Amino acid sequence: MNPGAVEEGTKGFFSAMKDQPLSLALVVMNLCLLGYLYYAGIVAHDERKTEMQLLYQNRDAMAKLLFECVPPERH
């Protein structure tokens, strides 16, 4: 790939953004939206992980309680 082509492409992009400030605002807004969605996904993943751990702890506690309800001669 020719380095001149990349430089020309970036020059063209930035010159187009100088001429079209609304397009630049949309590009910035889309990047911010992607960042927010990434952050929200990480937070949701952490919350789901914590919730699943609590569910498994509750299941273990219920199993222990139910085991204690069975008379010793049936164990």
Q: What are the tens digits of pLDDT across the range 13-66?
A: 778 778 888 988 999 999 999 999 999 999 999 999 999 999 999 999 999 998
**DSSP helix/strand/coil, 71:** coil
In this prediction, residue 74 has a pLDDT band, given cuts at 50, 70 and 90, of low
Where in the sequence is the domain holding 22, given as residue range(s)?
Answer: 3-74
- Count of domains observed in the chain: 1
Which pLDDT belongs to residue 2? 61
- Count CB neighbours of 24 within 10 A: 14
- Global pTM reads 0.61
Which pLDDT belongs to residue 1? 53
